[in-house]
Structure 1
Amino acid sequence: MNLSLFRKFLFLSILISTFALSAQEKPELEQAPTVRPARADLPFEISEKKRLSERDLKIKKEGGYITGLPLLNSDPNNGIGYGVRVFYYYNGERSRPLFEYTPYKYRVFVQYFTTTKSNQYQDLSFDAPFIFDTKWRVRSDLIYEKNPNLLYFGMGTETLKPLSYLERNDPSGRQIRNAGFSDYSDSLMYRRPGGSGEQYNTVTDNKYNRYELENPNWTFSGEYSFFGGTVRTIAGARISRQIIRTYDGKWQDSKFGGYDQLVGLPLNILAPNEEISTPEGTTKVTEENKAGNIIGFKGGNVNTGRVAIVYDTRDFEPDPNRGLFLEATHERSLRAIGSDFQFNKNYVSARGFVSPVEWFTKKPHVLLEKLVLGAKGAMVQTNGDAPFYEMRNMWGTEVTQSGLGGRTTLRGYKQDRFVGQTMAYANFEIRWKFASIDVAKQHFDFQLVPFYDVGRVWDATEKVNLKGYKHSRGLGFRIPWNQATVIIIDHAWSAEDSQTFVNFNHIF
């Protein structure tokens, strides 16, 4: 990894890590004596930091159980999304030694998801910590993704510029700067005269920033634990096929432009809301390809080998109360393993969790028994000949994220709003459980989660600095269901946009 990148990320990691470590390093004289002796029947050494709290252990279910929820969201790019994700968890017997140290013995989930604008994301997932009571953990995902609404705004610092557009998409119109995403998108729907090299005399830019990606892929990994389960080494692979389609020349809904007239009167004034089918002009992806700024315009195979190392002291992975999670991953794509491209990615991240009230008293008031401060910082660099659609991907050992913007990075901006050779972001959350309830042998907690996100991209790693970051903020509502299934509703806003997400799992 580039040393400059490491030094600059180290500063962020230390800030995020320090407050988590401070809770772990509290002098023994200030702590209440433990009420649970260390288990002597473990199959191998496991750090007590990984042990569930008494509260979490008390409500953890035995045996197997199913949870699930209809998936429902609304997004201006993808339309109204609907589907279902069903989880099967198997925890084993409470007497099992590892029962107190794992979120589950194994977990399987299957997801069906589609939207009114034809986005699909189907997933079959398997995860088994300490499989067969060994130090190994196995993960695997079989995924089919087809998204005709992916956004592309360019690469690097160019994408950090505020949105701007010509009023009513008129080449002679007034330029609007510092635009909101909604106004920007609306302006692109207006018809305009076809430019040089375009197939039609009249076109629209309705899909100017969009392209379609179809991506069947399989990922798998094996993890081996050291030092009581706090350190893991990971090796795995991804096998995938990317099919890219653009909208150039395809007919789209549009609005009348300034030069569309009837008996000398502008139709955009006579019928301002009337829609007419018009061929799409040259899209941003096509422009970038013609200029030689990107590769991978026709898609291809991307097969990668993966290695990583993790330091993890979280007490409960799906909804931590305390602990630290550090990871560094390396992913390499080689023609020797069937890939059409040669590139590599280096990704580092740090997460920290602290329960500040519990730090001062072991018996907090019921309204403050779960108040958690959480933070995450991450950075990724891409080297080599990576196709443009791979530049956005960030492989972490627990989740793969995409670009800056969207549900898991900068929640106040559209997905992939900012993409570059080097990307960095941070998330900060306060997770407060204000109520809980048991219904039909199902346990539900209810949390309020104010949050703040920050991040930016650069054209090269050596240009990384602490200036020019983008910011978003918001408020979330979370429902941990039987602890391991976390339902989230997050509303975020930024200087450019606002959006609401409904999904599963904390973003970190």
Structure 2
Amino acid sequence: MSRALLTALLLFQILAAAATDTTSTRQPDLIKKGWNLGPIPVVAFDSDLGFEYGAVINFFNYGNGSTYPEYRHSIFMEASRYTKGSGQYRIIYDSKFVLEGIRIMADLQYLPTLAAEFYGFNGSESRYNKQWIRPGNKDYHSELFYKMNKDILRAGLDLQGHFENPKFGWIAGTSFQRYNVGPLKMNKLNAEPSPYDESDVLYNKYVKWGIIKEWEKRGGAHITLKGALIYDTRDNEPNPMRGTWADALIYYVSPNLNEKGKGHAKLALSIRKYFTIVPNDLSFAFRAMTQNTIAGTCPFYMLSQIVTVSPRRSFFEGLGGAYSLRGIMRNRVVADGFALANAEFRYKFWRLHLLRQNFYCAITAFGDVGLITQKTKLDLAKVPISEYNSYFSNTAQRPHYSVGIGGKLVMNQNFVISGDIGKALDNQDGNMGVYIGVNFLF
């Protein structure tokens, strides 16, 4: 974490030394034209994933500048690895100006993860024993006890348009997704030695007990289809000061293309509200969303997938982690249905012009909460009675809370370097999370 924080501090010092424009002596933004290259964060950090190293490049095209700060084309490219064994290789294209009246969002992503989080299902009904993963503890099992292997390959295309009233829109999309999941590749991972059988991790136990079924234990390939209705009155997409963004999304996933069976469908509802408190400077942002399985059976490896109509993040995993409950361990709260809410204050405290680019700095204070609304049905008949209380709890479902603060550096109102620190309020959900990456959460 220290290297990433040092990089951020040095960047802010360089900007401070070069800046001649602050919020109190504000000048109009420079109108951007043609192609512009976003900065390249070489180092990022995520408590769940480790340090990120690689290249992140975002190209924006503003045409003749008449639409600034709205871009005409965006090409986002990333090739990076995390020190805890995962990677992100992706290209995302976004434009409203290829087909008249239609927004095109296309992505190609490969997301390998040598040590993906697996804490079981249904949130608080699955116990988390932190002493099992702490070397030196008398009950130490393995640092990798709550890990499994998961690789995702995705290619997707979304089309978005508007009805006669531009506030109301629609989205239709499809994707191919391939999940390769299974036991850890121990020869590629390092863990502190222990007398405990390190291959006997939680994922393997769930397979042995029949909680994870034979047909799903190694993953699968799927075609997805989605359709959504959207209401959008935001004044700026990356960081609105006012407006509403609401959507209702139906998401269908085919059966595994290599197997017979049925697919499944989910219904996702979300609303995001943005309120101006101090014009141009201070805003309050709120997001609430829910997602439930409405037909079929969702394979276990897709339960953590959260679907969205956002072009910047078409899907992500949770609940828990950088994109849902900051400070709570990623994928700690997994089930067939959930509700999620995030609230944050955003204050733009400093603006400057540097190298013919427009920058502003912002700080945030936030609170996050998630709750299971539809439990995953589990067959626990094969769980030994002597081990049941070590892995499962009969307590009622409870909310999962976290709070925190963050900072942002934004170029030309579109490219966002982000840092957040979140704190879980229950030690069953983890302790603290630090995330340095790109974009506002919502």
Q: What TM-score do you get using the length of structure 2 for normalisation?
A: 0.80
In structure 2, C-alpha distance between the alignment counterparts of 1:130 and 1:228, rounded to whole Å: 19
1:207–1:87 distance in 2 versus 1, CA, 3 Å? same
| 1:253 is aligned to 2:191 | yes
1:233–1:188 distance in 2 versus 1, CA, 3 Å? farther
Structure 1, residues 290-348: CA drift from partner, whole Å, max 9, x if none?
A: 33323411111121111111111001101111100001111112249778661111111
In structure 2, C-alpha distance between the alignment counterparts of 1:248 and 1:63, rounded to whole Å: 47
1:247–1:310 distance in 2 versus 1, CA, 3 Å? same
Q: Is the 8 A contact 1:91 1:104 kept in 2?
A: yes
1:184–1:493 distance in 2 versus 1, CA, 3 Å? farther
1:60–1:405 distance in 2 versus 1, CA, 3 Å? farther
Structure ID, larger Rg: 1
In structure 2, C-alpha distance between the alignment counterparts of 1:457 and 1:288, rounded to whole Å: 20
In structure 1, C-alpha distance between the alignment counterparts of 2:292 and 2:182, rounded to whole Å: 26
Structure 1, residues 452-491: CA drift from partner, whole Å, max 9, x if none?
A: 1111224449xxxx97211111110011111100110111
Q: Is the 8 A contact 2:418 2:437 kept in 1?
A: yes
**Equivalent position of 2:289 in the other structure:** 378
**Equivalent position of 2:341 in the other structure:** 426
Q: Is the 8 A contact 2:142 2:198 kept in 1?
A: yes
In structure 2, C-alpha distance between the alignment counterparts of 1:290 and 1:56, rounded to whole Å: 65
| 1:119 is aligned to 2:74 | no
| 1:94 is aligned to 2:56 | no
| Aligned counterpart in structure 1 of residue 403 of structure 2, from 465, 473, 483 | 473
1:448–1:147 distance in 2 versus 1, CA, 3 Å? same
**Equivalent position of 1:294 in the other structure:** 212
In structure 2, C-alpha distance between the alignment counterparts of 1:187 and 1:284, rounded to whole Å: 17
Q: Is the 8 A contact 1:429 1:452 kept in 2?
A: yes
In structure 2, C-alpha distance between the alignment counterparts of 1:256 and 1:356, rounded to whole Å: 55
Paired residue type of 1:502: I
Q: Is the 8 A contact 2:402 2:423 kept in 1?
A: yes
Q: Is the 8 A contact 2:181 2:301 kept in 1?
A: no
Structure 1, residues 104-142: CA drift from partner, whole Å, max 9, x if none?
A: 11101110110223311111110012434x211100010
1:76–1:500 distance in 2 versus 1, CA, 3 Å? closer
Note the C-alpha offset of 1:282: 1.8
| Aligned counterpart in structure 2 of residue 332 of structure 1, from 239, 249, 252 | 252
**Equivalent position of 2:303 in the other structure:** 391
Bigger helix share: 1
Alignment of 1:4-15 (within 5 A): none
Structure 2 unaligned blocks of 5 or more: 1-25, 377-395
Paired residue type of 1:253: A
1:339–1:483 distance in 2 versus 1, CA, 3 Å? farther
**Equivalent position of 2:115 in the other structure:** 149
Alignment of 1:405-416 (within 5 A): 405-416=320-331
Q: Is the 8 A contact 2:288 2:342 kept in 1?
A: yes
Note the C-alpha offset of 1:82: 1.1
| Aligned counterpart in structure 2 of residue 81 of structure 1, from 37, 52, 74 | 52
Paired residue type of 1:145: L
Note the C-alpha offset of 1:156: 1.2
Note the C-alpha offset of 1:506: 0.5
| Aligned counterpart in structure 2 of residue 232 of structure 1, from 164, 169, 187 | 169
Q: Is the 8 A contact 1:60 1:483 kept in 2?
A: no
| Aligned counterpart in structure 1 of residue 263 of structure 2, from 342, 345, 349 | 342
Structure 1 unaligned blocks of 5 or more: 1-54, 165-180, 193-203, 258-277, 359-368
**Equivalent position of 1:185 in the other structure:** 133
Alignment of 1:343-358 (within 5 A): 343-358=264-279
Paired residue type of 2:323: T
In structure 2, C-alpha distance between the alignment counterparts of 1:229 and 1:209, rounded to whole Å: 47
CA RMSD of aligned residues (A): 2.8
Alignment of 1:451-490 (within 5 A): 451-460=366-375, 468-490=398-420
1:333–1:56 distance in 2 versus 1, CA, 3 Å? farther
Paired residue type of 2:59: Y
Q: Is the 8 A contact 1:151 1:210 kept in 2?
A: yes
In structure 2, C-alpha distance between the alignment counterparts of 1:248 and 1:124, rounded to whole Å: 27
Q: Is the 8 A contact 2:221 2:257 kept in 1?
A: no
SS at match of 1:254: coil
1:73–1:88 distance in 2 versus 1, CA, 3 Å? closer
In structure 2, C-alpha distance between the alignment counterparts of 1:188 and 1:90, rounded to whole Å: 54
| 1:105 is aligned to 2:72 | yes
SS at match of 1:70: coil
Paired residue type of 2:104: V
**Equivalent position of 2:435 in the other structure:** 501
1:188–1:311 distance in 2 versus 1, CA, 3 Å? farther
Moved more, 240-249 or 423-432: 240-249
Q: Is the 8 A contact 1:71 1:503 kept in 2?
A: no
| Aligned counterpart in structure 1 of residue 160 of structure 2, from 195, 217, 223 | 223
Paired residue type of 2:39: G
Q: Is the 8 A contact 2:415 2:439 kept in 1?
A: yes
Q: What TM-score do you get using the length of structure 1 for normalisation?
A: 0.70
| Aligned counterpart in structure 1 of residue 422 of structure 2, from 463, 470, 492 | 492
Paired residue type of 2:218: K
In structure 1, C-alpha distance between the alignment counterparts of 2:283 and 2:316, rounded to whole Å: 23
**Equivalent position of 1:403 in the other structure:** 318
**Equivalent position of 1:36 in the other structure:** none
Alignment of 1:438-457 (within 5 A): 438-457=353-372
In structure 2, C-alpha distance between the alignment counterparts of 1:140 and 1:504, rounded to whole Å: 19
In structure 2, C-alpha distance between the alignment counterparts of 1:339 and 1:481, rounded to whole Å: 47
Q: Is the 8 A contact 1:190 1:255 kept in 2?
A: no
Paired residue type of 2:247: E
In structure 2, C-alpha distance between the alignment counterparts of 1:157 and 1:458, rounded to whole Å: 11
Note the C-alpha offset of 1:71: 4.2
SS at match of 2:342: strand
